[in-house]
Amino acid sequence: MSLAFKISLAVATFSCTTLMPDQADAMHISEGILPFPWAALWFAVSLPFLFFAVRQVRKRAATDLSYKPLLGLLTATVFIVSAMPIPIPTAGTCSHPCGTAISAILLGPLASILVGAGALLVQALLMAHGGISTWGANIVSMAIVGSVVGFAVFKTFRRMGAGLAVAAFAAGLLADWATYATTALELAAGVGAPGEIGPLFLQIAAAFVPTQLPIGIIEGFMASGMVTLLAKRRPDMLVRFHILKPEEVSSCL
């Protein structure tokens, strides 16, 4: 049994016993919320991303023995961070941090997609958070959009000369908000009539604002704190994943 599997199993057990809310089906997009054609469409959209993510992870793990344990640790991190729901009764889902910006910054967007998908699957199977039929939709919003936006924002801010802390904050903040904009779109498209999708999207997005606005800010600080801590304690990890250049390490110490 690998170290990554043991850690993930321990985290799942802890979360099931301590973090599960009374209304577990409020987590992510709930089982049965989306009609089958929409659920199938989002799952089909997620498949190419998962395929390329698995291929990249296998290729990297073949040459780096420490890669899988790191992947497991980040999956556990995303699992815990995203397993703290604040129900939104009018939207059929809930607000919560996502954590995918952190994994995207450290691993890149493709590996982060696999991390997010794994965390979502375990939550659906063990905690009834989200659902199997809506797994594809939740992958698209949290794992794919969250990872791609988080990575792109971080890299863009770094190219603009922003420091690690500022770039990571922006990545965490915007990845979180992008995730919930996508969730609102998925819900509106799935349950609304063709002419109602736009107004329904705005209504659902507005329902997220009171909770997700501050949660996004908190997630920005979480990502910033994580990257800053690594820069001070383990700058070699940031060099290894091409976040820092070797010549920049001395400025972090």
pLDDT tens per residue across span 104-120: 999 999 999 999 999 99
Q: For the beta carbon of residue 251, count every other beta carbon within 10 angstroms.
A: 11
Model confidence pLDDT, tens digit, residues 2-45? 444 444 434 443 343 333 334 433 457 888 889 999 999 999 99
The predicted model gives 143-154 an average pLDDT of 96
Q: Which domains occur in the chain, in start order?
A: 3-252 (1.10.1760.20)
Q: What is the pLDDT of residue 97?
A: 85
User: Once rounded to an integer, what is the mean pLDDT over residues 189-216?
Assistant: 85
Q: Beta-carbon neighbour count of residue 73 at 10 Å?
A: 18
Number of residues written out for the chain: 253
Distances in whole angstroms, Cα of residue 234 to Cα of each of 93, 165, 171, 228, 253: 37, 15, 20, 10, 10
pTM for the model stands at 0.84
